[in-house]
Amino acid sequence: MYLSYIDTVLAFANICMISILLYIYWQNYRKWKSQYTVGLLVFGIFLLLQNILSLGFGTPTPPPPHGGPPPVNPHEFPLLLINASQLIALAALLKISWK
């Protein structure tokens, strides 16, 4: 149950870092007009969409209206691992890309 909250925070952090990277890549494209930066922009957009979907699937489910425990999401732990590994990779990429 608590993993859903951690997963949501990680997905949001990933979305923020991807947005910063897309801004950096856009500035680089405007400066150099390189096909390589176009590829980075396209990849970043798809990664951003994937993380937005992950945010939607990882949000905690509300408890039923009649009471009782909330339903268990079987994808909680795998999504947490994916978002945690992406956070580490994006942090490294941001450190390299930042001027």
Predicted local confidence at residue 1, as pLDDT: 65
Encode pLDDT of 68-97 as tens digits: 777 777 888 999 999 999 999 999 999 999
Tell me which residue range forms the domain holding 4: 1-58
Whether residue 77 lies inside any domain: the answer is no
Encode pLDDT of 19-55 as tens digits: 999 999 999 999 999 999 999 999 999 999 999 998 8
pTM above 0.85, yes or no: yes
What total of structural domains would you count in the chain? 1
Q: Binning pLDDT at 50, 70 and 90, where does residue 59 land?
A: confident
pLDDT at 58 exceeding the cut of 80: no
Whether residue 43 lies inside any domain: the answer is yes
Whether residue 90 lies inside any domain: the answer is no
CA proximity to 75, closest of 48, 54, 99, 46: 54
Whether residue 78 lies inside any domain: the answer is no
Q: Average per-residue pLDDT in the chain? A: 91
Whether residue 33 lies inside any domain: the answer is yes
List CB contacts of 13: < 8 A, sequence separation 6 or more: 87
- CA–CA distance from 70 to each of 4, 83, 89 (Å)? 12, 23, 32
Whether residue 8 lies inside any domain: the answer is yes
How far apart CA 36 and CA 12 sit, in angstroms, is 27
Predicted local confidence at residue 61, as pLDDT: 76
Whether residue 45 lies inside any domain: the answer is yes
Q: Binning pLDDT at 50, 70 and 90, where does residue 99 land?
A: confident
Whether residue 28 lies inside any domain: the answer is yes
